[in-house]
Chains A and B, each alone.
Chain A
Amino acid sequence: MGKTLAEKIWDDHVVRTAAGEPDLLFIDLHLIHEVTSPQAFDGLRLSGRPVRRPDLTLATEDHNIPTTDLDKPIADPVSRTQVETLRRNAEEFGVRLHPMGDIDQGIVHVVGPQLGLTQPGMTIVCGDSHTSTHGAFGSIAFGIGTSEVEHVLATQSLSQARPKMMAVEVDGALPEGSTAKDLILALITQETTGGGQGYIVEYRGEAIRALSMEERMTICNMSIEWGAKAGLIAPDETTYDYIQGRPHAPQGAAWDEAVAYWSSLTTDDDAEFDKVVRIDASQVTPFVTWGTNPGQGVPLSATVPHPSDFEDENERAAAENALTYMGLEAGTPMRDIAVDTVFVGSCTNGRISDLRRAAELIKGHKVADGTRMLVVPGSVRVRLQAQEEGLDVVFKEAGAEWRGAGCSMCLGMNPDQLTPGERSASTSNRNFEGRQGKGGRTHLVSPDVAVATAVLGHLASPADLQPVPANA
């Protein structure tokens, strides 16, 4: 019997296998940030262990850092301590760090691919659940806890029980006006937040092949939101084109060797998945969440559901709680929901193509009165690229705030937070209670919907916008 893509990568990384024990896997790339690493480094210090492979480790500052007043010290002492601790640890253990002010600083899942460090056929881990993003390149990438961070630092390997394999067959083509974000939000609602539990998921089919590299990252990023251990997409020309020429891309003969290996990374025709689910991309329209988990979504054209629409008792109770928390009434058209803040950014939708799309759509429009819009690039390079293309000017002319790079309002660990009761349309990946600030209410949306919402002041899609006159 043949192997799935994920099985091939897994088998290529087994350091040791023994009956009754989990496999010991070699880790090709370990990404680090300031929040989940301090105790891991402290553990190394206590036991007198070095970092085994600093050359396979990369640190950046992202979760905690401010996106304004970048020239001043970090105001919050707890955040500052975490950042300073990372700097000390990186120095002491010889780990490469991109700190604030560095051109390669940014969200860890934006930085890896942009440097060309994320390549097909790798195992990639990070103390962050959205490490699944890197699966877009045809790698096994997943989030780990602090003890495991220490384990990888010390041994460059990790004991892991082999997960089950699932295929997501995406049939048809995405219609004009629908994005990768709409597709993944629709899939999560279809499969529910626990649907992927215990699986590595391979996204397949024509609609997936047609996606750009950055759109594929948006899809894989949210694998964790439906419970999957990891999500991945087989590499192809789109993948190679994206990697070629980046700072850490293989060169010359090594490139040819790499591509030859990468080309073997597809699921064999006779491989068997433990589970297959399907979604029809041609039916996907702009999709938004109404509740407090990423599986509580509906098409933008629909209304807020009624708890009694849900047969499952737990889902019904969850819907009731969510409506109360979100301050919504069942039956309200989604388009009637007024929004206070629009956030464009995060490791889901904070890359250059997202900003280009958002700028193109907002050009000639103004952010609605009473609505604020934050645009937060995923990395400093994304920010500089956008500025080179004049996107910052477009955003500022529309009345949006152009910020420094980082996680920002995705998790509200820095000062970019919602106030209690404030409602956002956010291109990030989690709408949990309080995720963007205590009492904040989050609707997950695509960059397209985010822009239209900012302009109209209520949830909307670009189709709802008045055309901009040609001479504007």
Chain B
Amino acid sequence: MDKFTTHTGVAAPLRRSNVDTDQIIPAVYLKRVTRTGFEDGLFAAWRGDPSFVLNQEAYRDATVLIAGPDFGTGSSREHAVWALQNYGFKVVISSRFGDIFRGNSGKAGLLAAQVDEKLVQRLWTYVEDNPGASVTVDLESRTVKAGEGVDAIEDSFTIDDYTRWRLLEGLDDIAITLSHGDDIDAYESRRPAFKPATL
């Protein structure tokens, strides 16, 4: 997993609440045998609609998604996080996330930044008034920044300390366990010889 310190990118306003993981990626798209390539299924039900935000030229290359409350509720499918990442998203900003989705995001390296509902509204207005504008999300200082001068937006977001640490260090669960490789080696060396092996 790559280290995540700060990210600046085009932000897309997704003016919907309760976007559950079935809407993020419907079940029919789960048959792939890779962890990649799920971008085709991302928001599949809406992608045919020309007015859908990701179909608008200005937001086509968005890497930051600004969503309404209760983003990522429902089914535990990890594919929802993969689909967002495969499409190119690095950050999702919302005032409330589904628990499992937030957990899966932390595992996979997608930053789920939880902010005050009012900040979501301000960001929506800003990126709609300035299509294609960038938003900066700084994990070190836990701040979201956009715009310049008197209209500049700067506010904080929340993320739990453990997930923040892992993202900053670029550690996935496996990397963390591998950092305890000595413990695993030690266990293996004292493991009884009568235990079965497949090879």
Contact = CB atoms under 8 A, between A and B. Distances in A.
B194 A42 contact: no
Interface of A: 15-16, 24, 26, 28-29, 38-39, 42-43, 46-47, 49, 52, 54-58, 78, 81-82, 85, 94, 96, 116-117, 119, 122, 145-147, 150-151, 154-157, 159, 248-250, 254-255, 257-258, 261
19 contacts: A15-B184, A29-B196, A39-B33, A47-B172, A47-B174, A55-B197, A55-B199, A82-B33, A96-B199, A117-B198, A146-B78, A150-B174, A151-B173, A154-B174, A157-B184, A248-B198, A254-B193, A257-B192, A258-B194
Nearest to B38: A39
Counting contact residues on chain B (CB < 8 A from A), the size range is 20 to 34
Contacts of B187: 15, 26
Given A248-B198, A257-B192, 20 more contacts: A15-B180, A15-B186, A24-B180, A26-B188, A38-B33, A39-B33, A39-B35, A42-B35, A49-B174, A54-B198, A56-B198, A57-B198, A119-B195, A147-B78, A151-B173, A154-B178, A157-B177, A250-B194, A254-B193, A261-B192
A28 B33 CA distance: 26
Contact of A38 (B34, B78, B184): B34
Contacts of B31: 78
Contacts of B180: 15-16, 24
Given A29-B196, A157-B184, A254-B194, A43 B178 contact: no
Contacts, number: 100
Nearest to B196: A248
A458 to B, nearest CB: 35
A358 B61 CA distance: 62
A116 B173 CA distance: 32
Contacts of A78: 31
B177 to A, nearest CB: 5
Contacts of A94: 199
Nearest to A258: B194
Q: Which 6 A-B pairs have the closest CB atoms?
A: A38-B33, A55-B199, A254-B194, A258-B194, A39-B35, A16-B183
Contact of B173 (A29, A159, A257): A159
B195 A122 contact: yes
Given A39-B33, A42-B35, A147-B78, A24 B195 contact: no
A432 to B, nearest CB: 15
B120 to A, nearest CB: 29
B82 to A, nearest CB: 8
Contact of B184 (A55, A122, A156, A249): A156
A248 B196 CA distance: 6
Contacts of B118: none
B107 interface: yes
Contacts of B130: none
Contacts of A82: 33
Given A146-B78, A151-B174, A58 B198 contact: yes
B178 A155 contact: yes
B36 interface: yes
Nearest to B33: A38
Contacts of B104: 147
B194 A257 contact: yes
A298 B191 CA distance: 46
Contacts of A159: 173, 177
A217 B131 CA distance: 61
A96 B198 CA distance: 7
A282 B197 CA distance: 41
Interface in B140-199: 172-174, 177-178, 180, 183-184, 186-188, 191-199
B37 to A, nearest CB: 10
B177 A42 contact: no
B34 A42 contact: yes
B32 to A, nearest CB: 8
Which has the most chain A C-beta neighbours within 10 Å: B82, B178, B198? B198
A155 B174 contact: yes
A39 B177 contact: no
Nearest to B177: A155
A155 B194 contact: no
Interface string B35-48: 11000000000000
